[in-house]
Structure 1
Amino acid sequence: MKTNLSLLSVLLCTLLFPNTLTAQDAESDSTIYPYVLPIWGQKAQDRGFGDQLQLPFGFNVNYVNAFIDMEITEFGLAIAGHDLSGVVNKETLNFTNVNATTNGLNYRADAWVLPFLDVYALFSAVTGGTDVSLQPTWTDATGETILQLPEFSSSVEFDALAYGIGTTFIFGWEGYFLSTDVNISRTDTELLKDQVGYLTLSARVGHRFFLNKNNRDLFVAPYFGMMYRNFVGSKGNNGTINMDEVFPDLQDTFDTTVDAKIQANDDEIAMLNSNPIQNAGEIAKLTAENAALNTIKTKVDDSGVFSTEIDYFIKKDLKQTVTFQFGFNLQLNKHWMVRGEYGVADSQRFLMTGLQYRFGVKKRGLQ
């Protein structure tokens, strides 16, 4: 009786739900593509490529380190509301070196919407620093140098957040693959009032090598390519920074220089005191100079000028926008992949390494 009831139940289920499969059924039937993405995943399965598709959803965590040489193409300066652009600008500051270094974590979530098209969103949290060297130089109308200060450098550290979207196209044939990638991102940093747009274009070509003939999920895919990166939509940025952040030793240098001058005057006064009557005029002059120096030092230190906010306008461009890229993807299994990449050019260096986890969401009825 129980056997007859069981057979009847199976028959009713077959009649009422003829297209319903269990997850176990789908896994045992190699003609069924079980996941909601990519679109046309079933077509790829029908053509025998289903086992070559990655799991459709992924999450990446990457460490990124970059060094970039830049040039200042426009610059303006105001201190305490006074515009100094007429005398302090790109030409007079004479920037000799400008570079930036950033490092931090990049997070990316992606999905294969078509077998050859991946879309993703990215978010980065980085720290970095900007090194600037300059030798202020002023010339007259004929171009003759009338004043040139010694070359000096300053470094400013910053934190930045970046977020963006991108897409990857990929084509494969007999183990070879070609991929192109484009993404655009925006960066927020406390140093700049406006966001900075960034465009990245890249193309890579490589080959897949299986590491275990009995396990086609384990393979390494080395590649090489080129990457283009540049600012987009930027007409320059306004920013505000304290003077002691740009020149952290300026107050100590000022105080040390004044103290050294006062000490030198005191030493000369001590020598002149061997004949105070004859040297009375010089002694009085040096004593008055020391009093003035002490007054200047006190007023300048108490004025807060060394922590004054500097308002500036700056436009930067990359010296070089293209790098050559070399890297690899090491797939451990369908879920885990390790990636490393290095990019190099005369004025840029780029290093990235990270870990990727992939998973699938099954179609309704295959849960």
Structure 2
Amino acid sequence: MRTSCFLLTVLLGLLYREAAAQYTTDKIVGQKEKNVTLADSLKHVTYPYLLPIWGQKVINKGFDLPFPMGLSVQYVWQESDILINNLQVGFNNGPKRNCDDLIRFDKATATTNGVNLRPDFWIFPFLNVYGILARSNNSTTVHCGLWVPDSSNSWKKITDINTKADFDATTIGFGLTPTFGIGGFFVAIDMNWSWSDIEQLDKPAYIFILGPRIGKNFKFKGEQSLAIWTGGFRVHMNSGTNGSLPLSDLFSTNEWMQRIDSGYIKVANSQQQVNAWWNGLSPRDQQNPVNKAKYATANAALDKAGQLLNGASEAAGTLGNSSVQYSLDKRPKDKWNFLIGAQYQINKHFMIRAEYGFLSSRKQFIGGLQYRFGF
């Protein structure tokens, strides 16, 4: 039973779906002959596309615009520590019981490997809008333990549980990236909202990502250029998670019963220690409010553990048709991390980009190829 409680929590992987904007709306500046010639020529160009709005006015002011439409394919890897609490567990759609004091998490790490497809367009010269469609393979590893009170009412860990669950997710979402220039640099504030459908969860997991960046674009010969940037990355996710799992997906009947029997033995031993301590007190000490509170707290915790074992034991009788329902709260251990990135423009149609985030309990990498075209 104990391991199943933990296995339920591993379906909570943070799903990193970041997709940043194109950073190539550049003002042609400088006194070099090629810059002066290009800036002057743009003032007399007729802009042929519907987007972005005000495109004609912008190029007449000396800005070199990228193609307004784009399609990119990106690989994403992310690893992040998460914090889990308020775990509640029930069996066969029966009442759920809070296990927060019994089950304590040492570390939970979510890992994502996925590919996303991102169509985007510049609605204004300073605003890129994009959609997200992603498919990912995810896993969550959990290191935790079962804790019960002893005869001195001190809580002790009676077993360690290390487990891992793998699951797939489909994600859809959208994003906005306002971009502007200042002192020869660009500033981009990337924001996106996504919802990930995971079979084991009752409703899609929601994530909001904020990524402010500052960088500079370096022009080379022809249409080639290199944009480099640095910035931050912040994740917010919905904290509440509810789900259900078939018990047969977790354990065989024999393994399930062995774990239940082991749990009964350890809880019974703890109960004997508490009773021996209480019975060894004098009648006067038993009336001491402090001792009475310790005794009541210990009995309540052990009774809760016993009820969970009873529910697990009843479910074991029909393991093939039984299920476990759970709910919990989770959040990233660190909301922010630092990132660096670069994008190489081969020509105005093709770009390659890469970005890496670090300096916190979260690390991520994104790399991809982008194709841009007119509309």
Say whether the fold is shared (TM-score over 0.5).
Answer: yes
The aligned length equals 284
After TM superposition, give the deviation of residue 98 of structure 1 in Å.
1.1
Q: Which amino acid in 2 is paired with 1:351?
A: F
Contact preservation (8 Å) 1:66, 1:350: yes
SS in structure 2 opposite 1:33?
coil
2:185 is aligned, of 176, 184, 193, to 176
- Aligned CA distance change for structure 1 residues 175 and 356 (closer, same or farther; 3 Å): farther
Any conservation in 1 of the 2:239–2:331 contact (CA below 8 Å)?
Answer: no
| Residue in 1 that maps onto 2:198 | 189
Letter in 2 for 1:202: G
Maintained 8 Å contact 1:123/1:162: yes
Q: CA RMSD in A?
A: 3.0
Would you say 1:32 and 2:46 are equivalent positions?
A: yes
1:242 matched residue in structure 2: 246
Shift in CA distance, 200/302, structure 1 to aligned 2, threshold 3 Å: closer
Q: What is the 5 A alignment of 1:1-367? A: 30-49=44-63, 52-83=64-95, 85-86=97-98, 89-139=99-149, 143-145=153-155, 148-173=157-182, 175-212=184-221, 215=222, 217-231=223-237, 234=238, 236-246=240-250, 251=255, 254=258, 303-305=317-319, 308-361=322-375
Call closer, same or farther: CA 1:99–1:243 in 2, change over 3 Å.
farther
Helix, strand or coil at the partner of 2:59: helix
| Distance of aligned partners of 1:187 and 1:143 in 2 relative to their CA distance in 1, 3 Å threshold | farther
C-alpha change, 1:306 and 1:153, in structure 2 (3 Å) is farther
Letter in 1 for 2:372: R
Whether contact under 8 Å (1:175, 1:209) holds in the other structure is no
Over 3 Å counting, the alpha-carbon distance change for 1:254 and 1:306 in structure 2 is: farther
Identity %: 30
Quick one: distance in 2 between partners of 1:154 and 1:249?
A: 18
Paired residue secondary structure (1:150): strand
What is the CA deviation profile of residues 85-114 of structure 1, one whole-angstrom value per residue up to 9, with x for unaligned ones?
Answer: 15xx12211111111101111111111011
2:239·2:329 contact (CA, 8 Å) conserved in 1?
A: yes
The CA deviation at 1:322 is: 0.4
Q: Taking structure 1 as reference, are residues 149 and 249 closer, same or farther at Cα in structure 2, changes over 3 Å only?
A: farther
Q: TM-score normalized by structure 1?
A: 0.71
Ranges in structure 1 where 5+ consecutive residues have no aligned partner: 1-26, 259-298, 362-367
Contact 1:251 1:306 in 2 (8 A): no
CA contact (8 A) 2:96 2:326 kept: no
C-alpha separation between the residues in 1 aligned to 2:251 and 2:175? Answer: 39
What do the CA deviations read for 1:22-47 (whole angstroms, capped 9, x no partner)?
Answer: xxxxx999421111111110101221
Matched residue of 1:54: which SS? Answer: coil
Letter in 1 for 2:112: T
Question: TM-score, normalised to structure 2's length?
Answer: 0.69
Superposed CA deviations along residues 276-302 of structure 1, whole A, max 9, x for unmatched, are xxxxxxxxxxxxxxxxxxxxxxx9999
**1:120-149 CA-partner distances (Å, limit 9, x unpaired):** 11111111011112110022797423x632
Tell me by how many angstroms 1:175 deviates.
4.5
1:178-236: CA deviation from partner (whole Å, max 9, x where unpaired)? 11111111111011101211111111111112232xx1x101111110011111xx351
Give 3-state SS (helix, strand or coil) of 2:58's partner.
helix
Amino acid at match of 1:150: T
CA 1:78–1:341: 2 relative to 1, 3 Å: same
| CA distance 1:219–1:253, shift in 2 (3 Å) | farther
**2:107–2:142 contact (8 Å) kept in structure 1:** yes
Indicate conservation of the 8 Å contact 1:124/1:163, yes or no. Answer: yes
Aligned equivalents of 2:334 and 2:356: distance in 1? 16
Counterpart-to-counterpart distance in 1, 2:243 and 2:151 = 31
Measured after TM superposition, the shift of residue 238 of structure 1 is: 1.3
Change (3 A) 1:46 1:148: closer
